[in-house]
């Protein structure tokens, strides 16, 4: 029996998932695209206006789903960071997943603030106010921008992964504070409509609730697609980093003289 | 309705731009490293 030249780096269900990630991501991307198209059609044309808010209610189909994805992304970063810090599960996979999810989360968090601001102007009369929900969300965005900056300043892959995992966990602690801020403090922002304690009581008309459901599913699938592709990009970036390092070491050894150039150069893929 | 259109436009334009940037960068890196899309290895 011969051993595999390149054994799969992730055995078990995770390895299976990663090996089939190309097909799964393609399917996920197509379903997400169809779902986002359906959200636009349902949200802009087919759902009714609100008695109080009029057409502004149509922002309901983008603002809460985008905020939910930001929560989800930062939650995934926290779980992946914890898995990286845990000695039994430590693997570059968790570090890359945490980074990919944080970057996508930053995009969605910025969109949450932008759509909230667009909704706030006609409803509250201001683009921005130092309300507890808005302020904690802005803080969340700043924390994760800091997390991404930290990833860029550290060169050593192990140190970077460890420091980032701690930073990711600390930053994620703001997610429950953002969510509960409307219940803990008096705010201009309304209390949660969907993700609230006592979820059973419906507060939305049926067509609106269905459109919101389609939108939540579509944005969640879009998140999966974006994180999957960002993860693959991170793998390529790591390979490029290693190739650059190999080249630099080879050049230094060549400069050192004929004896130095014969030494083997080995750089492990992080 | 203009606020609604602005909200939808910001969301979809941003996501489209981000996805486009990511795919372009991935393609460029794959080409420079000599990795075909069919040779994806996690």
B34: left (phi over 0), alpha (psi -120 to 50) or beta: left
Cβ of residue B34 closer than 8 Å to a chain A Cβ: no
| Residue A46 falls inside a structural domain | yes
Lowest-confidence segment of A49-63, A104-118, A194-208, A234-248 by average pLDDT: A194-208
d(CA A48, CA A44): 9
Domain of A63 in residue numbering reads as: 24-187+208-257
pLDDT tens-digit series, residues A198-231: 555 556 777 888 889 999 999 999 999 999 999 9
Is B8's CB within 8 Å of A43's CB? yes
Domain boundaries, given as residue ranges, for chain B: 2-32
Global pTM? 0.83
| Residue A198 falls inside a structural domain | no
**Would you call A54 helix, strand, or coil by DSSP?**
strand
pLDDT at B36 over 70: no
Check which CATH number belongs to the domain holding A157 and give it: 1.20.120
Q: Which residues of B touch A124 (CB under 8 A)?
A: none
- Cβ within 8 Å of residue A174, ≥6 positions away: A136, A139, A140, A143
The dihedrals phi and psi of A54, each to the nearest 5 degrees, come to 65, -135
Is B11's CB within 8 Å of A222's CB? no
Is A230's CB within 8 Å of B33's CB? no
Give how many domains chain A has, as a whole number.
1
pLDDT tens-digit series, residues A166-192: 999 999 999 899 888 888 887 778 777
């Amino acid at each position: 029996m011969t051993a595999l030249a390149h054994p799969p780096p992730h055995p078990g269900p995770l390895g299976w998932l990663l090996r089939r990630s190309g097909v799964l991501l393609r399917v996920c991307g197509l379903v997400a695209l169809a779902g986002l198209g359906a959200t636009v059609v349902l949200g802009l044309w087919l759902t009714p206006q609100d008695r109080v808010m009029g057409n502004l209610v149509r922002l309901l189909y983008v603002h809460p789903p985008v905020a939910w994805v930001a929560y989800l992304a930062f939650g995934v970063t926290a779980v992946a960071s914890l898995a990286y810090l845990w000695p039994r599960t430590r693997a570059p996979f968790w570090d890359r997943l945490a980074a990919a999810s944080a970057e996508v989360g930053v995009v969605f968090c910025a969109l949450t603030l932008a759509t909230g601001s667009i909704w706030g102007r006609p409803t509250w009369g201001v683009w921005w106010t130092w309300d507890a929900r808005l302020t904690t969300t802005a803080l969340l965005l700043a924390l994760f921008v800091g997390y991404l900056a930290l990833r860029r300043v550290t060169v050593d892959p192990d140190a970077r992964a460890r420091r980032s995992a701690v930073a990711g966990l600390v930053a994620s602690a703001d997610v429950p504070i953002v969510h509960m801020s409307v219940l803990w403090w008096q705010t201009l922002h309304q209390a949660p409509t969907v993700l609230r304690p006592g979820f059973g009581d419906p507060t939305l008309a049926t067509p609106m609730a269905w459109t919101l459901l389609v939108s939540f599913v579509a944005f969640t699938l879009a998140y999966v697609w974006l994180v999957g592709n960002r993860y693959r990009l991170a793998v390529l970036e790591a390979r490029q980093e290693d190739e650059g390092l190999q080249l630099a070491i080879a050049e230094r050894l060549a400069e050192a003289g004929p004896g130095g150039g014969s030494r083997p150069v080995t750089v492990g893929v992080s | 309705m203009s606020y609604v259109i602005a909200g939808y436009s910001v969301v979809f334009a941003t996501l489209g731009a981000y996805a486009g940037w990511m795919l372009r960068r991935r393609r460029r890196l794959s080409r420079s490293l000599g990795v075909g899309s069919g040779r994806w290895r996690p």
